[in-house]
Chain A
Amino acid sequence: DAGITQSPRHKVTETGTPVTLRCHQTENHRYMYWYRQDPGHGLRLIHYSYGVKDTDKGEVSDGYSVSRSKTEDFLLTLESATSSQTSVYFCAISVTSGSLHEQFFGPGTRLTVL
């Protein structure tokens, strides 16, 4: 998984509670991403980061915030979880290979919001 770990791997929480998911990488890659995966939608980008304290919104950012205080860690926070945020969340990093910027994914976090 390209040196990417995600924690927790599984979480069940209740509507209205805050949740933070962590992505950790060991190879000092500049770009990091958070995606969610839902049946029939493939993967959709939530937020991404292009450096420490540099982040931007993706396609489905509403209800999510992120932070990156260290190169190796990228946190995704659901301030007040809703049932529509039940999903599998994947972190990814981007690696430059020649002219390509290839994305590699972590193992995922399965989040259930009751």
Chain B
Amino acid sequence: QQQVKQSPQSLIVQKGGISIINCAYENTAFDYFPWYQQFPGKGPALLIAIRPDVSEKKEGRFTISFNKSAKQFSLHIMDSQPGDSATYFCAAGGYNNNDMRFGAGTRLTVKP
């Protein structure tokens, strides 16, 4: 039973385009929603995170959009660059994050 569903599995975007990755969660007790970026052979690195008291958070080219009523959140990467090519994971957790659940991941390829 996957509590966080992520789509698409893979995504190919042209340089300069917008990459959009979507996640849906089930547990309404979740109140912390991070996104991680992972390069081959490395551990996941925290990219950006949001709490449900805001609907959007932007850091540089990365934006999280959050829809509490739909139990969905998404990552938007503006002006995508080849260096953004990586696997992205969404996650959802409670206050202490002792039961954080991850999506299955999206492999993003940005073509020059």
Specify the chain B residue showing the minimal Cβ separation from A58: B99
Within 25-50 of B, Cβ neighbours of A (below 8 Å) are at 32, 34, 36, 41-46, 49
- Scoring A103, A104, A107 by chain B CB atoms within 10 A of each residue's CB, the highest score goes to A103
A107 to chain B, nearest CB (A): 5
Select which of A59, A100, A102, A105 is within 8 A of B43 by beta carbon: A105
Q: For window 71-112 of chain B, which residues contact chain A by CB distance below 8 Å?
A: 89, 91, 95-105
Count residues of chain B with CB under 8 A from any CB of chain A: 26
User: Given the interface contacts A31-B98, A42-B104, A101-B32, does A108 sit within 8 Å of B43 by beta carbon?
Assistant: yes
Residue of B nearest to A95 (CB): B46
CA distance A50 to B102 in the complex (A): 20
Query: Apart from A45-B98, A102-B46, what are 10 other A-B pairs with CB-CB below 8 Å?
Result: A42-B4, A42-B89, A42-B105, A43-B89, A43-B102, A45-B99, A48-B98, A58-B98, A94-B96, A100-B49
B contact residues vs A (CB 8 Å cutoff): 4, 6, 32, 34, 36, 41-46, 49, 51, 89, 91, 95-105
